[in-house]
């Protein structure tokens, strides 16, 4: 069943990656043959595949630990998916900030990102407070 549920996201991502590979003429990089613009040498194929394997393993474990946590939430399990998705977005954005991926972004983009993070953190707090209030009374 999970394969069917995730098929839409896979299809969308696969098609978009194909468009980008064709648009950027970067298919040779997948085989380790081409030099990346501005790089001193061609990317290491082994390193790229290792990073892909690490990303896949990390993606798998997010659902593994999500399911473990969700099973411990009892009657508040309904809020677990919202908390899970918010956490992914919040921490990925903070990780991007830490790695300077937002360097060169416009002030407007940074402002919208900050507002988005504030909304996500605020909504997470609201869910937590709501669950705590229901648990008390």
Q: Print pLDDT tens along the chain (137 aa).
A: 677 878 888 999 999 999 999 998 888 777 766 665 666 666 677 888 899 999 999 988 888 888 888 888 888 788 888 888 898 899 999 999 999 999 999 999 999 999 999 999 999 899 889 888 888 87
The most distant pair of C-alpha atoms in the chain lies apart, rounded to whole Å, by: 64
* pLDDT computed for residue 34 by the predictor: 60
Alpha-carbon gap, residue 134 to 73, rounded angstroms: 13
Q: 80-98 vs 45-71: helix axis angle to the nearest 10?
A: 150
Question: Which candidate, 93, 81, 82, places its Cα nearest to that of 122?
Answer: 82
pTM above 0.75, yes or no: no
Token pair 């900030």 is found at 97
């Amino acid at each position: 069943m999970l394969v069917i549920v995730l098929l839409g996201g896979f299809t969308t991502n696969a098609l978009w990656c194909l468009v980008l590979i064709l648009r950027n003429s970067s298919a040779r990089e997948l085989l380790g043959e081409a030099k990346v613009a501005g790089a001193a040498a061609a990317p290491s194929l082994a390193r790229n595949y290792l990073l892909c394997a690490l990303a896949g393993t990390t993606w798998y474990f997010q659902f593994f630990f999500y399911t473990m946590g969700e099973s411990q939430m009892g009657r508040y399990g309904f809020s677990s998916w919202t908390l899970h998705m918010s956490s992914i977005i919040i921490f990925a954005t903070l990780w991007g900030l830490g790695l300077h991926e937002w360097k060169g972004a416009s002030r407007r983009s940074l402002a919208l990102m900050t507002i988005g993070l504030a909304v996500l953190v605020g909504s997470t707090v609201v869910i937590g407070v709501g669950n705590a209030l229901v648990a008390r009374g």
